Chains A and B, each alone.
Chain A
Amino acid sequence: MRAALFVTCLVDQLFPRTGRAAEDLLRHLGVTVEFPPGQTCCGQVAFNDGFWSEARPLARRLLGVFDHADAVVAPSASCVAMIREFYPILLRDDPARAAQAREVGRRTYELTEFLVDVLGVVAVGAHFPHRVAYHPACHGLRLLGLREQPLRLLRHVRELDLRPLVGAEECCGFGGMFALKFAELSAAMLETKLRAIEASGAEFVTATDVSCLMHIDGGLRRRRSAVGTIPIAEILAAR
């Protein structure tokens, strides 16, 4: 099995450890991992804020980079959702490109989805002796249908104590530009999430999306909370 790793712009530049964890994990499971260096950003920041003309070249670019990959795997649910769900909409005036987008989209997976649905693995041999709360990030949950896959993987991590999170499926308030344009509102949503995380008794909160975790982490640090954030790839790669 060969897979092209799409690390995403945020992971590449700000959370490289998450990219390395995803890569190590895939290799550990016998996948031949490639890293096409032409990759940059999927364009969802611009697309979600209505800047479709700006997002289009990025979409075309990324499709070119991953056109020949057997599978594209990304440690970020919202970027996968962008490719799979929104590229065909963004590129609908260019039927050939839209078809290419659907084609690439069919072979593009979020990491936990790839592990469980494609490789058929739930026990990845990870060891993470901590109390963990799982936040089902919105795009993974509702656009990719990531319900069971991340939880099954977490339940098989040795000594990991999975803590229930009240209101787990409520948005943390990130939403890309939303967090900047409607900062007070976004912060009010974040507040509810932070309280639920702290009430869960977890030492770490994890998710399939680094952008939401970045938002939650920023809130936890601002409160000087003892709870940390860790992307799910890093838990699954912990030995």
Chain B
Amino acid sequence: MKTPRGAAPEPGRPIDFVRNARLALGDPFLRAALRATMVRFRDRQAAVIAEVPEWQALRDYACAVKRHTLGRLDQYLEQLEAQVALRGGHVHWARDGAEAAGIIARLARGRRVVKSKSMTSEEIGLNEALASAGCEVTETDLGEYLLQLAGEAPSHLIAPIVHRSKEFIAALLSAAAGRPLPAEPERLTAVARELLRRRFLEAEVGITGANFLVAETGTVVLVENEGNIRLTTTIPRVHIALAGVEKVIPRLADLAVFLTLLPRAATGQRMSSYVSLLTGPRRSGERDGPEEFHLVLVDNGRTAVHGDETMREVLACIRCGACLDVCPVFERVGGHAYGSVYSGPIGAVLTPLLQGLTVAGDLPFASSLCGACGEVCPVKIDLPRLLLELRARVVRSRGAPLGERLFLRAWTWVMGSAVRLTLAGSLVRLARGLVGPRPRWLPAPLSRWIAFRDLPPAAPAAFRRGRRR
């Protein structure tokens, strides 16, 4: 059986979540690893969030800043562009992923590239474009580097290789280092560091994403733990930052709130190891930094989402991954089951919006609507509501499977009158009495209930029987 682990999403092909989920559920290692990691993440997050008495106020503030910015996005993007240019950087606008990848490939053509973790670069298929342009690309985030060695896609926003064991990683690094290595995380990290250091020293171009873009000063803000972003943005002669247009925030002063929220929500840390505020290329008299700085701003469907009043708030996402960590569905199936770059609750909303309902119409339904994602989101995106809105759009535009449609039509027709409900209820109770708690057969979709659960006991009569007002 082929597991879905590691499978990179295929753009344009409809995502079969049910099939992917089934494959993932049949993978005991994946289930155990995900459960352990997610519970650890959740516990750490809960502990450091509880330390901040004003947490809810900070969420409100962050949400307000994002809302305000999205309400005047053009204005702030123009200000950002002007500020970056003023400080000697170049701004490039890309309408879609191909255009963004093309711009970066042109800038980096034939050179040695080091890259830090960027989901946006996954979204636009950057590595393929760079390979075609003759670049030698090295991912420098440890997890991403290992995935690159394995030829796999990340499965979590923050912990991209959560789906693999240390034995698997030891085998990867042994092959890369040309000597057998024990499955000891510290040793393996040391070896990876040694392999990556060489790449850093040879690199001519550094490519990063961006956590925030500050309009007021033209600053790119990058948050990390490993120090690889520091090296990526200081050693190579050229730094290219890639970001979706929604990453802009108005002022440096707003960062304080975001930098309190992000690490706590993302990794359960009070503060990340490094925060880099990069404003333009190296100025005369400065000792480090790139000679050339490019900011590539990509739309790739974001403007359409921005124009969609009902959905706009999803653009407030700061990619912390907290909604993945608390999601009981994500915990069972992992990131690859979503068949797209963004997974978990945020992926279930964002992917259908960016790739269309034909491709990703399954995803909004892949949730029990428990609401844990909305409760944890540091920028208060109402993910459960957005999932519901998308479901309605899928049903309107694509319809639903016949069995499901008939079931719900029948249900709502019955519930349209008390008389019908009384009759149908009697039939249901009668049928339940006849078939017992574990019938061998029921019509779909009810057959899916009895595959795993008994039917509820038969009630003798309805509550309403014999009542008058």
A-side interface residues toward B, CB under 8 Å? 7, 9, 11-17, 19-20, 34-41, 43, 45-52, 54-55, 57-58, 61, 86, 89, 138-139, 141-143, 169-171, 173-190, 192, 214-215, 217-219, 221-222
B-side interface residues toward A, CB under 8 Å? 17-18, 21-22, 25, 31, 35, 328-329, 332-333, 364-372, 374-375, 385, 388, 391-396, 400, 404, 408-409, 411-412, 415-418, 421, 425, 428-429, 437-438, 445-446, 448-449, 451-456, 459-464, 467-469
If A9-B415, A14-B429 are given as contacts, then 12 extra A-B residue pairs at C-beta distance below 8 Å, sorted by A number, are: A12-B425, A13-B428, A13-B429, A36-B469, A51-B392, A55-B412, A138-B372, A141-B371, A142-B374, A181-B445, A183-B449, A218-B449
Given A183-B451, A187-B452, A218-B455: A48 in contact with B369 (beta carbons within 8 A):
yes
A183 near B452 with CB under 8 A, answer yes
**A142 contact set on B, CB distance < 8 A:** 370-372, 374-375
Among candidates B22, B428, B449, residue contacting A180 with C-beta atoms closer than 8 Å: B449
Given A55-B412, A57-B412, A169-B372: A222 in contact with B392 (beta carbons within 8 A):
no
How distant is the Cα of A136 from the Cα of B351 in the complex, in angstroms? 31
A-B contacts, 20 listed (Cβ < 8 Å) = A14-B459, A20-B463, A37-B464, A40-B416, A47-B388, A48-B388, A50-B393, A50-B400, A138-B371, A139-B369, A177-B445, A179-B449, A181-B18, A182-B21, A182-B366, A183-B451, A185-B25, A217-B454, A221-B454, A222-B454
**Which residue of chain A has the shortest Cβ distance to B411 in the bound complex?**
A45
A35 near B469 with CB under 8 A, answer yes
**B456 contact set on A, CB distance < 8 A:** 14-15, 214, 217-218
**B453 contact set on A, CB distance < 8 A:** 187, 190, 215, 218-219, 221-222
**A41 contact set on B, CB distance < 8 A:** 411, 415, 421
Given A13-B459, A57-B412, A183-B449: A50 in contact with B418 (beta carbons within 8 A):
no
B365 near A181 with CB under 8 A, answer yes
B454 near A218 with CB under 8 A, answer yes
Min CB distance A94 to B, Å, is 15
How distant is the Cα of A231 from the Cα of B429 in the complex, in angstroms? 20
**A14 contact set on B, CB distance < 8 A:** 428-429, 456, 459
Among candidates B421, B428, B452, residue contacting A222 with C-beta atoms closer than 8 Å: B452
**A36 contact set on B, CB distance < 8 A:** 469
Min CB distance B189 to A, Å, is 31
**A192 contact set on B, CB distance < 8 A:** 35, 328
How distant is the Cα of A177 from the Cα of B408 in the complex, in angstroms? 9
How distant is the Cα of A48 from the Cα of B368 in the complex, in angstroms? 9
Question: Considering residues A17, A40, A46, A86, which has the most beta carbons from chain B within 10 angstroms of its beta carbon?
Answer: A40
B415 near A43 with CB under 8 A, answer yes
Among candidates B332, B367, B371, B446, residue contacting A178 with C-beta atoms closer than 8 Å: B367
B-side binding surface: helix, strand, loop or mixed? helix
**Which residue of chain B has the shortest Cβ distance to A17 in the bound complex?**
B459
**A173 contact set on B, CB distance < 8 A:** 328, 368
A13 near B421 with CB under 8 A, answer yes
Question: Considering residues A7, A14, A46, A178, which has the most beta carbons from chain B within 10 angstroms of its beta carbon?
Answer: A14
**A143 contact set on B, CB distance < 8 A:** 371
Min CB distance B47 to A, Å, is 15
How distant is the Cα of A176 from the Cα of B384 in the complex, in angstroms? 14
**Which residue of chain A has the shortest Cβ distance to B332 in the bound complex?**
A188
How distant is the Cα of A43 from the Cα of B388 in the complex, in angstroms? 14
Min CB distance A101 to B, Å, is 15
Given A45-B411, A142-B370, A142-B374: A50 in contact with B395 (beta carbons within 8 A):
yes
B446 near A180 with CB under 8 A, answer yes
Among candidates B333, B366, B391, B463, residue contacting A7 with C-beta atoms closer than 8 Å: B463
**B449 contact set on A, CB distance < 8 A:** 179-180, 183, 218
B392 near A52 with CB under 8 A, answer yes
**Which residue of chain A has the shortest Cβ distance to B24 in the bound complex?**
A185
**B437 contact set on A, CB distance < 8 A:** 221
Min CB distance B51 to A, Å, is 19
How distant is the Cα of A160 from the Cα of B239 in the complex, in angstroms? 65
Given A16-B462, A41-B421, A50-B395: A58 in contact with B370 (beta carbons within 8 A):
no
**B366 contact set on A, CB distance < 8 A:** 182, 185
B459 near A15 with CB under 8 A, answer yes
Among candidates B365, B375, B417, B463, residue contacting A19 with C-beta atoms closer than 8 Å: B463
**B463 contact set on A, CB distance < 8 A:** 7, 11-13, 16, 19-20
A171 near B372 with CB under 8 A, answer yes
Min CB distance B329 to A, Å, is 6
How distant is the Cα of A36 from the Cα of B467 in the complex, in angstroms? 10
**B17 contact set on A, CB distance < 8 A:** 182
**A45 contact set on B, CB distance < 8 A:** 408, 411
How distant is the Cα of A189 from the Cα of B101 in the complex, in angstroms? 40
Min CB distance B462 to A, Å, is 5
Min CB distance A13 to B, Å, is 4
Q: Which 10 residue pairs are nearest across A and B when measured between Cβ atoms?
A: A218-B453, A175-B368, A50-B391, A171-B370, A50-B395, A142-B371, A13-B425, A187-B452, A16-B463, A41-B415
B370 near A185 with CB under 8 A, answer no
**B369 contact set on A, CB distance < 8 A:** 48, 138-139, 175-176, 178
